[in-house]
Structure 1
C-alpha cells in the first residue's frame, strides 16, 4: 500500500514538472510570437500620417494644405508623392508631383502647394497615387507607401 502511495506521489511530481514545462514553453512561444510581431511592425515602420487639412482658393488655383505627421518614425530627407485630383463626378483632372519632405524625426509639418487651374469646390477627391521618392534611414519607396495612412478634414476625400 505504501509503495502504491509513493508511486502516486512520484507520478504527481513528474506530472507537475511536465505541466510546468508545458506552461513555460507556451509562454516562450507566446513571447517569440510577440517578438516576431514587433520585428514585423519595425520592418513596416511607424505610421506616416498624411492629412489633407485644407483647400482654399488662390487665384485660378486651389491651394492645398497637407499635414505630414512623422511623430513616431525616423527622419526623411525626401518624401515625394504623385497626386491626382478628381472632380466631384470622379473624373481625373490634374496630376501633380509634390515634395513633402524633409520631415524630421518625431515631427509634424504642413506643406502647401497649388493645383493650378482647378477651383477648390470642383475637387471631390485627391488620390495619393504613388510614392516617387522616399529617402532617410532605411526608407524606400515601397516601405514609405506601406507606412502612409491618409485622412482628410475637407469635403474632398483623400486616399491611397
Structure 2
C-alpha cells in the first residue's frame, strides 16, 4: 500500500469516527430542571431553579407539583410551582419562597408530576420528560 492510500484510508476512518458521536449526541426532547440554589430569606427558604426547554415547542404554561421532604424523610410541604412560559431552546431562572421552611432542614424535593394537565388542556410540559439535576446538597428526584 502506498502512503497516499494509507493517508486516504486514515482520513476516511477519522471522518467516520467524527460523525458517529454527533449522531449519538442528538438529544431526546426534554425539559431540564436544575435546583441551583437554596438560601434563607427571613422565615422562608428561597429555592432558585434553572430550566431549559429542550422540547420541540414553546410551552405556554408549566407547573409542577413539588413535595418537600425534611432530612428525616418526612413530608414538610406540598406545593404547585408555576414556572410560567418556557420558550423553546431558552434558559430561564425562577425563584420560589416557601414560608416556614428552613433550608438547612430540607432533605430532598420530589417532582410529583406536572400540574394543570387535563384532556381539555394538554400543555407541552404534561408530556415532555424532565431531566433533573441539583447543584445543592438537596436532592431533586422524580
| Fold agreement, TM-score > 0.5 | yes
5+ residue gaps, structure 2? 1-25
Q: 1:139 aligns with which of 109, 124, 127?
A: 124
**Contact kept? 1:83, 1:97, Cα under 8 Å:** yes
Q: How many residue pairs are counted as aligned between the two chains?
A: 115
**What TM-score do you get using the length of structure 1 for normalisation?**
0.65
Structure with the bigger percentage of strand = 2
Residue of structure 1 equivalent to 2:9: none
Structure with the bigger percentage of helix = 1
- Aligned-residue offset at 1:150: 0.8
If asked which structure has higher relative contact order (CA below 8 Å, sep 6+), I would say 2
**What TM-score do you get using the length of structure 2 for normalisation?**
0.73
Residue deviations 1:93-150, cap 9 Å, x none? 011111112011110100000111001000010000110136x997262x13xx1111
5+ residue gaps, structure 1? 1-40
The alignment partner of 2:131 has SS state of strand
- Computed over aligned residues only, the root mean square deviation of the Cα atoms, in angstroms, reads 2.5
State whether structure 2 residue 130 is matched by structure 1 residue 155.
no
Residue of structure 1 equivalent to 2:4: none
**Contact kept? 2:73, 2:107, Cα under 8 Å:** yes
